[in-house]
Chain A
Amino acid sequence: SQTIHQWPATLVQPVGSPLSLECTVEGTSNPNLYWYRQAAGRGLQLLFYSVGIGQISSEVPQNLSASRPQDRQFILSSKKLLLSDSGFYLCAFGTGKAVGTDTQYFGPGTRLTVL
């Protein structure tokens, strides 16, 4: 079966420190991968998506970057965290290849608090 993992589950970091969040998928090949952020009391904002290794599309200009070093691994990074980077980060995968056919399945999330 297909599963998605995220770690860490929670993270408290000081302003200006680096960040690395990891997401891995099992049970499928060449998935579409997505990073979302959910700020307190707000909906989900798509940050990045990837349709293949090394292929990253950014939706919102910001202090974050993403990488896909392996087929089923998606990493969210920052060189220097800002207070506004606090939030709940969700990774998702989808297997639809034709336009508009993706059903996205979400990981358990990482709660990031920047102090």
Chain B
Amino acid sequence: AQSVTQLDSQVPVFEEAPVELRCNYSSSVSVYLFWYVQYPNQGLQLLLKYLSGSTLVKGINGFEAEFNKSQTSFHLRKPSVHISDTAEYFCAVTFKAAGNKLTFGGGTRVLVKP
């Protein structure tokens, strides 16, 4: 079965430090890749997406992600975090064979400390 794995359930990080959230997926077939952020008691907001083209994708709020097909990974990075980046982050993948349905990872909770 197709799956998405976020290796870290929680990531504590100090303000202004860099952060990397890891995401791996199970299949090497054609995929579209997404990162979403969820602030407490809110819906999910799209941070960035990879559909095709350059493997380095830039999103909102200073985030970027790199698609690595050989490693089936799509890690999210930010060079300097703010307190306001405290939230839960979800990696999601559309496996083309599964139509338009998204498969989500389990989420990574980021806690930015002052």
Interface positions of A (Cβ within 8 A of B): 6, 32, 42-44, 46, 49, 59, 88, 90, 92, 94, 96, 99-109, 111
Contact = CB atoms under 8 A, between A and B. Distances in A.
Residue of B98, B102, B107 ringed by the most chain A CB atoms within 10 A: B102
Interface residues on B, range: 20 to 34
B104 A100 contact: no
A60 to B, nearest CB: 12
A84 B107 CA distance: 21
Interface of B: 30-32, 34, 36, 41-46, 49, 51, 90, 94-96, 98-102, 104-107
Contacts of B105: 43
Contact of A104 (B41, B95, B102, B107): B102
A107 B46 CA distance: 11
Given A108-B43, A109-B43, A43 B101 contact: no
